[in-house]
Amino acid sequence: MWSFNIFKNEKLKFVLNAGGALVLDEHFELMLDENVTGNEKRFILSASDPRFSKIQAVTISPLSGAKYTINGEEEEKITHLEDEDKFDVSAVTYQVRFSSKKAKTGFWLKTQKVKDASHVDLNGWMDPGKGFMYFCPEDQGAFSSPVVYFFDMDHTIIKPKSGGKFPENASDWIWWHKIVPERLHRLRTTGARIIFISNQKSMETDVTLKDEFQEKIRQIQDKLGFEFEVCVASGSGMFRKPSPGIFHFLKEYMKLDPKSCLMVGDAAGRPACKISGKKKDFSASDRNFAVNCGLDFRTPEEFFNSQVSKYKEADLKIKPNAARALKDNSIKFNKSSDLIHDILKRKKSLIIFTGYPGCGKSTFAKTLTRSFPEVAILCRDEIGSTQKCIKLCKEALHIGKSVVVDATNPDIASRQKYLEIAHELDLDSIISLFFDVEIDLAMHNCRYRAITGGAVIKDMILYSHRKKFEAPSRSEGFTDTISIPFEPKFESNFETQLYYSHLP
Ligand SMILES: [Mg+2]
């Protein structure tokens, strides 16, 4: 678990543990629980929590018009501060420093109570994770029912009054159908729990959209006359539908214990309909979210207008889940892995990797580093350029080290430079290790990596790899070619569940 030290003029002022929050007054002094009144709160400092985020950051949220200065500019919006970042409040300088840089792996740990007043701002909103906003109703009765209705918002509950696809401002909405408020009221009367769940990625780049969205929710709640929970995926991480992150958050921290659960949404993967002229759904993220979380699913037409579903599963435009199609490859994986270990144990070798990004190359290279600290493992992404890799390869082989080249090396030309060096030195063990993974699985793996805090790899890079690809063969000058399948490894149940989900 990480924590943060907040320094005031170079003197330690606060210690903020992961997931914790401090309520501060206008002088940036801590407000203790008993004397906190709404009007005196000026700032909330909250620390990111490794259960939800791999980013180590402190968030400063100014309230009621409070301002602070960062990089000489006055600011009144929420900012994420990272290690060494400085900011000023009332002309006093504060700095954020990590007291521990090592993040605990596995971000879904034991159930803990996170719902305490310091997390929720005056308007009922909280930021429980990176790319996630949650509205917490004041009425505790809202949490008591095991009967839960999840609703997508846009084109399910409301639609733009202006008639376009996207709303123009906070007031640009009407009910999706006039029956919607009546049905919501009826659900509310039965005591059911109502949770809106909305993807709003554009908030990542345009912070004004957050205020607009919150204002719209206030208007909808005003019209309905009651509050309900709202989950907003405001970024591209694990909380974005269809990823099941929000469902896990509610289960772990917001007393969700669904005995009966239904998801209603318009992103259902429906094909275009020639008769009605209806366009195909822009995605299947609502339906896939339901699949990922094990919920029943209805489209708005089915739920509000009692239409009978006319779509067979086979008609739906849903991409198969490459991870779920993955077979148990452990025997073959271990066999190839043992072979490589044997080779490195026995003789000086050059091992050249080939494979898509996201096919397990660097993970495998790391296991080699642990077993063979004396071997030069050259990771192209860490070294920065292929030229540098080639230079380091030459140097290492010259001083008698074995070398492993961890790069995508899709074609003969990319591997030839390394082979030439090996041949110059008369090396008699030149191995190709091919990570045998189909593009769909590599794409899924890249998505999984990106939403769990890793690098973002665009699909284009994978397509370009596929285009260039030439299978490694002995005719290029390898003394042996070995292939290795993909074998996923997890550190927690949540990781396992997330991996086998449909991902955004
Ligand atoms: Mg929608």
User: pLDDT tens, position by position, for the chain (504 residues)?
Assistant: 677 888 888 887 887 877 778 888 888 887 765 555 666 788 888 888 776 676 788 999 888 889 999 988 998 888 889 888 999 999 999 999 887 643 333 333 222 234 443 455 657 888 777 788 889 887 767 777 889 999 999 999 999 998 888 888 899 999 999 999 999 999 999 989 999 999 999 988 887 888 899 999 999 999 999 999 999 999 888 899 999 989 988 887 777 877 789 999 999 999 988 888 888 999 999 999 999 999 999 999 999 998 887 777 778 888 888 998 888 899 999 999 999 999 999 999 999 999 999 999 999 999 999 999 999 999 999 999 999 999 999 999 999 999 999 999 999 999 999 999 999 999 989 999 999 999 999 999 999 988 887 888 999 999 999 999 999 999 999 999 999 999 998 877 778 888 999 998
What is the torsion angle, in degrees rounded to the nearest 10, for the CA atoms of residue 358, residue 359, residue 361 and residue 364?
A: 110
Looking at domain 137-315, its CATH superfamily turns out to be HAD superfamily/HAD-like (3.40.50.1000)
Residue 107 CA to ligand 1 centre (angstroms): 28
Residue 96 CA to ligand 1 centre (angstroms): 39
pLDDT given for residue 36 in this prediction: 59
Where do runs of H (alpha helix) occur along 305-385?
Answer: 330-346, 361-371, 380-383
**Backbone angles phi and psi of 376, in degrees to 5:** -80, 110
Q: Where in the chain is the domain with CATH 3.40.50.300?
A: 330-487
pLDDT given for residue 168 in this prediction: 87
Domain 3-98 class, CATH top level: mainly beta
Fold of 330-487: Rossmann fold (3.40.50)
Residue 199 CA to ligand 1 centre (angstroms): 8
Crossing angle between the packed helical segments 412-424 and 386-398, to the nearest 10 degrees: 20
pLDDT given for residue 343 in this prediction: 96
Residue 195 CA to ligand 1 centre (angstroms): 14
Q: How far apart are CA 85 and CA 87, in angstroms?
A: 7
Q: Where in the chain is the domain with CATH 3.40.50.1000?
A: 137-315
CB burial string 310-339: b at 16+ within 10 A, e below: eeeeeeeebeebbbeebeebeeebeebbee
pLDDT given for residue 155 in this prediction: 96
Q: How far apart are CA 414 and CA 423, in angstroms?
A: 16
Q: With 0.75 as the threshold, say if the pTM is over it.
A: no
Q: How far apart are CA 36 and CA 176, in angstroms?
A: 41
For 152, which DSSP code?
-
Residue 299 CA to ligand 1 centre (angstroms): 10
Classify residue 465 as exposed, middle or buried by CB count within 10 Å of its CB (0-12, 13-18, 19+): buried
Q: Kindly report the number of other CB atoms within 10 A of residue 488's CB atom.
A: 16
Could you tell me if residue 305 is left (phi over 0), alpha (psi between -120 and 50 degrees) or otherwise beta?
alpha
Q: Kindly report the number of other CB atoms within 10 A of residue 352's CB atom.
A: 26
Residue 218 CA to ligand 1 centre (angstroms): 19
Residue 209 CA to ligand 1 centre (angstroms): 17
Q: Kindly report the number of other CB atoms within 10 A of residue 25's CB atom.
A: 15
Residue 467 CA to ligand 1 centre (angstroms): 35
